[in-house]
């Protein structure tokens, strides 16, 4: 076989284009390219000349420290969030089905409106609990999982469970 033909199978057209060369001029052919280090989180810069900081600088420094100390979520936390998200979605569907079976016993307009509002808030409660918990517990994964577990216990769609025959 032709050695030129073997090398053609391992390359692409345009590989010899000098504008596509990676690395710097100082790198040697045998040295491995080192990937760049992760960028530092943004820090509070000094204000321009003549400007002063109006707010507390300690809060800015504490925020920068918190961003540096933040670690990404682990596998268990991600899986638990997915499971809790599925449970809360099922709870929302369960509340929707459960309240659709309830008749409005009130005759006055204000009472009917308040009853309907309460039913729709019950449908929205699991999604609101999940969203608020996810937003308010950004720095504490253990607290986030504990509050989500508490919500699973408190927000169970009882009208759906009772009418479906789960509780006699």
Task: Write the DSSP symbol of residue 83.
Answer: H
- At residue 121's C-alpha, the angle toward residues 120 and 126, to 5°, is 110
pTM of the model: 0.55
> Angle, to 10 degrees, between the axis of helix 109-136 and the axis of helix 141-154?
150
Task: Please compute the mean of the pLDDT values over residues 118-145 and round it to a whole number.
Answer: 90
In whole angstroms, what is the distance from residue 166 CA to residue 95 CA?
14
All structural domains of the chain with their residue ranges: 75-163
Q: What percentage of the chain reaches a pLDDT higher than 90?
A: 27
pLDDT of residue 82: 93
**61-100 pLDDT, tens digit each:** 777 777 666 566 788 888 999 999 999 999 999 989 888 8
Mean pLDDT score across all residues of the chain? 77
Please report the pLDDT score of residue 168 as a whole number.
Answer: 47
CB < 8 Å & 24+ apart, contacts of 102-106: 102/159
Residue located via tokens 């670690």: 71
Asked whether 116 and 104 are in contact (CB, 8 A), the reply is yes
CA atoms within 13 Å, Cβ hemisphere of 136:
11
Q: What tokens were used for 60? A: 């800015």
pLDDT: which is higher, 145 or 168: 145
Cα within 13 Å of Cα(32), Cβ side:
3
């Amino acid at each position: 076989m032709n050695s030129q033909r073997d090398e053609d199978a391992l390359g692409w057209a345009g590989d010899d284009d000098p504008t596509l060369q990676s690395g710097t001029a100082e790198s040697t052919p045998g040295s491995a390219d080192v990937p760049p280090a992760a960028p530092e989180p943004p820090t509070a810069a000094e204000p321009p000349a003549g400007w002063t900081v109006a707010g507390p600088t300690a809060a800015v420094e504490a925020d920068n420290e918190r961003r540096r100390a933040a670690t990404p979520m682990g596998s268990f936390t991600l899986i638990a969030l997915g499971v809790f998200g599925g449970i809360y979605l099922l709870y929302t569907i369960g509340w929707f089905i459960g309240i659709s079976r309830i008749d409005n016993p009130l005759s006055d307009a204000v009472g009917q409106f308040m009853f309907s509002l309460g039913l729709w808030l019950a449908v929205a409660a699991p999604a609101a609990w999940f969203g608020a918990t996810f937003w308010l517990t950004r720095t504490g994964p253990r607290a986030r999982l504990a509050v989500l577990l508490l919500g699973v216990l408190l927000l169970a769609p009882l009208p759906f469970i009772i009418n479906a025959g789960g509780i006699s």
